[in-house]
Chains A and B, each alone.
Chain A
Amino acid sequence: MPYTPDKPPLPETPEQLAARIPGWGADKNPADRPSYPRERTDLETGAHWTEPEQQPELAPRERSIEHARLTPVFGTAQPLHGLSGAIRRHAYAAYSEGRAAHWLLLIAADRVDAVEQHLASFATPHPDNPVTETGVLAEGERRGLRSRAEGHRVDRGHQAMDPVLVAGPWVLAAAGVALMVHALRRRLR
């Protein structure tokens, strides 16, 4: 009990634990733990440079304004494009990582990107297919109902409303934008 100096007794002795659990205590000594101490300057990395060569910037690359320069190496997957690209470019150029606006704009751009790409897919031989892409067919193949019925899973309580919660705010926002555009057009007429 914490009201007295002694720690509550453990249910098993070290000998019992060592007999039951493979490797019990092998890393008891912190010096044997690979992340101890956290900072070390004597580790071999395999690097044979002091400063890495710069990867060529073949197209303008967005970066955090908390960086002094483009990093020597960077990913080139999915370059910025379209309206989502403009939002992302603004988020990176205008706001540091310390500002909520930076992240909220990036999340908003993600949703714009999804809509842009979804619409664009209809002009390709491979339009988006919500049935195959959501993987819902696994419900039948992987015991969907039975898996959910087993035990006391707390996610059962909100699974039915999850789709509404996830899609709802974006549907409402899209409806709001549509109403504003409609009102603006009426006013301009």
Chain B
Amino acid sequence: MRAMVYRGPYKVRVEEKPDPRIEHPNDAVVRVTCAAICGSDLHLYHGMMPDTRVGHTFGHEFVGVVEQVGSSVRNLTVGDRVMVPFNIFCGTCFFCARGLWSNCHNVNPNATAVGGIYGYSHTAGGYDGGQAELVRVPFADVGPSKIPDWLPDEDAVLLTDACSTGYFGAQLGDIAEGDVVVVLGAGPVGLFAARSAWLMGAGRVIVVDHVDYRLEKARTFAFAETVNFAEVDDLVVHLKKATGYLGADVVIDAVGAEADGNLTQHVTGAKLKLQGGSPVALNWAVDSVRKGGTVSVMGAYGPIFSAVKLGDAVNKGLTIRTNQAPVKRQWPRLLEHIRNGYLKPSDIVTHRIPLDDIAEGYHMFSAKLDGCVKTLVLPGQD
């Protein structure tokens, strides 16, 4: 099969690889019809995630058609059209039994702190991902779901991470009616988090970024007020003034490890890898939320330490809530919202590329060229 492969920091290409095979009785093999490049793929692409091996195929957002099933698979049959959550999970370990489906203990021998994730390095279990023609899908009776006939692939693929993660991030904020919610980052996850904050009854939603075309998307797609942090002297003071000097009730960090806005933090965290990521956005969240407020973190960070302002967080009595999204838990409710016309995930898609253009696709997304917000990868297309 043909697949995207990592060749070292900032380098990817398409190669012929052996087809994936059934390695466990509850495995399936899925033929990918549509995949996506995620902002967190850029952390791998930039060489930030430990144990990212040359030859690895990225891609944790994908949908496709079941090509093969293992001997114990009961819930799927060959030919089913499925969406696959980015989390690989067993359904019965201590954590899965409590609904913590993104924290499964039975799928990642390389680390106990991280669950299993498709195409996300050996730190997340060493599974090749879905930016390929075929992919191995473990625990096929647990993870994938059949896609409803009425849902196009382009919407379904965004439910496998970006849309579900943004929706989950808003839930982490414990938003109450009338809350002022600040979302840091106007990438796909931030846009979905902002849109989701309204579903939860937010009274005001403010999205912060430094890229104008993404802020425009925040206004048109997420109906949010926007702030370009490059145009204000001090973002924290700006947000304090904008909230009557109180601070936001909830701040959502939808940026993660490669945050810009402070040169020292960006260089030491994102470029020199001396931190588990650049905590600029997280520190802005701590400083701009009100005392007693909630900070929701679902921006991705690496496993080593970051210079986070914990003293301010303690002194302000903040609740900091975190996790990778347990994606499949979000689906029934999100499907209702989509059917009701509250949300159309594919509205954020800006680019569609064949698998052969994967290197240009990564560079375009990484360098934020051509108004790129979300790129879909279509393995079956020339």
Footprint of B on A, CB under 8 Å?
A: 1-2, 7-8, 10-12, 14, 17, 20-28, 30, 32-36, 38-41, 43, 45-53, 55-56, 61-64, 66-67, 70-78, 84, 88, 92, 97, 100, 103-104, 106-107, 109-111, 113-114, 116-118, 121, 126, 128-130, 132-139, 141-144, 147-148, 150-155, 157-158, 162, 165-166, 169
Cβ–Cβ < 8 Å partners of A12 in chain B: 203-204
User: Known contacts A74-B109, A75-B116; can you find 8 more A-B pairs with CB under 8 A?
Assistant: A40-B98, A43-B99, A52-B24, A62-B109, A88-B122, A103-B302, A113-B8, A151-B211
Measured CB to CB, the closest approach of chain A to B138, in angstroms, equals 5
Q: B110 — nearest CB in chain A belongs to which residue?
A: A64
B127 touches A41 (CB 8 A): no
Measured CB to CB, the closest approach of chain A to B22, in angstroms, equals 10
B306 within 8 A of A: no
A47 touches B92 (CB 8 A): yes
B106 touches A133 (CB 8 A): no
Of the stretches B153-161, B184-192, B307-315, B329-337, the one at the interface is B329-337
Q: A47 — nearest CB in chain B belongs to which residue?
A: B91
Cβ–Cβ < 8 Å partners of A154 in chain B: 210, 229-230, 260-261
B92 touches A75 (CB 8 A): no
Cβ–Cβ < 8 Å partners of B243 in chain A: 8
Cβ–Cβ < 8 Å partners of B302 in chain A: 103
Q: Give the complex CA separation of A24 and B109 in angstroms.
A: 42
Q: Of A24, A78, A107, A150, which one neighbours B54 at CB under 8 angstroms?
A: A78
Measured CB to CB, the closest approach of chain A to B346, in angstroms, equals 15
Q: B268 — nearest CB in chain A belongs to which residue?
A: A165
Q: Which 9 A-B pairs have the closest CB atoms?
A: A23-B342, A135-B363, A75-B126, A47-B91, A8-B244, A45-B91, A114-B8, A151-B212, A106-B50
Footprint of A on B, CB under 8 Å?
A: 7-13, 15, 23-26, 46-47, 50-57, 72, 74-75, 88-92, 96-101, 105-113, 116, 122-123, 125-128, 138-139, 141-142, 168, 171-172, 174, 177-178, 180, 196, 198-201, 203-204, 210-213, 223, 228-231, 243-247, 260-261, 263, 266-267, 271-273, 290, 302-305, 323, 326, 329-330, 332-334, 337, 340-343, 359-364, 367-372
Given A50-B92, A106-B51: A152 and B110 interface contact (C-beta under 8 Å): no
Given A73-B106, A132-B359: A117 and B228 interface contact (C-beta under 8 Å): no
Cβ–Cβ < 8 Å partners of B200 in chain A: 25, 27-28, 33
Q: Give the complex CA separation of A26 and B341 in angstroms.
A: 12
Cβ–Cβ < 8 Å partners of A137 in chain B: 359-360
A133 touches B244 (CB 8 A): no
B109 touches A41 (CB 8 A): no
Given A132-B359, A135-B360, A150-B212: A72 and B11 interface contact (C-beta under 8 Å): no
Q: 22 A-B Cβ contacts within 8 A? A: A2-B247, A23-B343, A25-B177, A33-B171, A36-B171, A45-B101, A52-B92, A63-B110, A73-B24, A73-B88, A73-B139, A78-B122, A106-B50, A110-B51, A114-B47, A142-B369, A144-B369, A152-B212, A153-B211, A154-B261, A165-B267, A165-B272
Q: A165 — nearest CB in chain B belongs to which residue?
A: B271
Q: Give the complex CA separation of A109 and B290 in angstroms.
A: 43
Q: Of A33, A52, A70, which one neighbours B26 at CB under 8 angstroms?
A: A52
Cβ–Cβ < 8 Å partners of B305 in chain A: 100
B367 touches A103 (CB 8 A): no
Q: Of B125, B244, B246, B370, which one neighbours A147 at CB under 8 angstroms?
A: B370
A2 touches B246 (CB 8 A): yes
Cβ–Cβ < 8 Å partners of B245 in chain A: 1-2
Q: Which of B127, B340, B342, B367 is the most central at the interface, judged by chain A CB atoms within 10 Å of its CB?
A: B367
Measured CB to CB, the closest approach of chain A to B319, in angstroms, equals 12
Q: Which of B56, B122, B342 is the most central at the interface, judged by chain A CB atoms within 10 Å of its CB?
A: B122
A138 touches B363 (CB 8 A): yes
A97 touches B223 (CB 8 A): no
Q: Which of A1, A126, A162 is the most central at the interface, judged by chain B CB atoms within 10 Å of its CB?
A: A162
Q: Give the complex CA separation of A61 and B8 in angstroms.
A: 23
Cβ–Cβ < 8 Å partners of B125 in chain A: 74-75
Given A34-B330, A46-B91, A75-B125: A1 and B246 interface contact (C-beta under 8 Å): yes
Cβ–Cβ < 8 Å partners of A48 in chain B: 72, 74, 141
Q: Of B98, B111, B113, B228, which one neighbours A39 at CB under 8 angstroms?
A: B98
B52 touches A157 (CB 8 A): no
A47 touches B141 (CB 8 A): yes
Cβ–Cβ < 8 Å partners of B7 in chain A: 114, 117-118, 121, 128, 133
Cβ–Cβ < 8 Å partners of B199 in chain A: 23-27
Q: Give the complex CA separation of A73 and B72 in angstroms.
A: 14
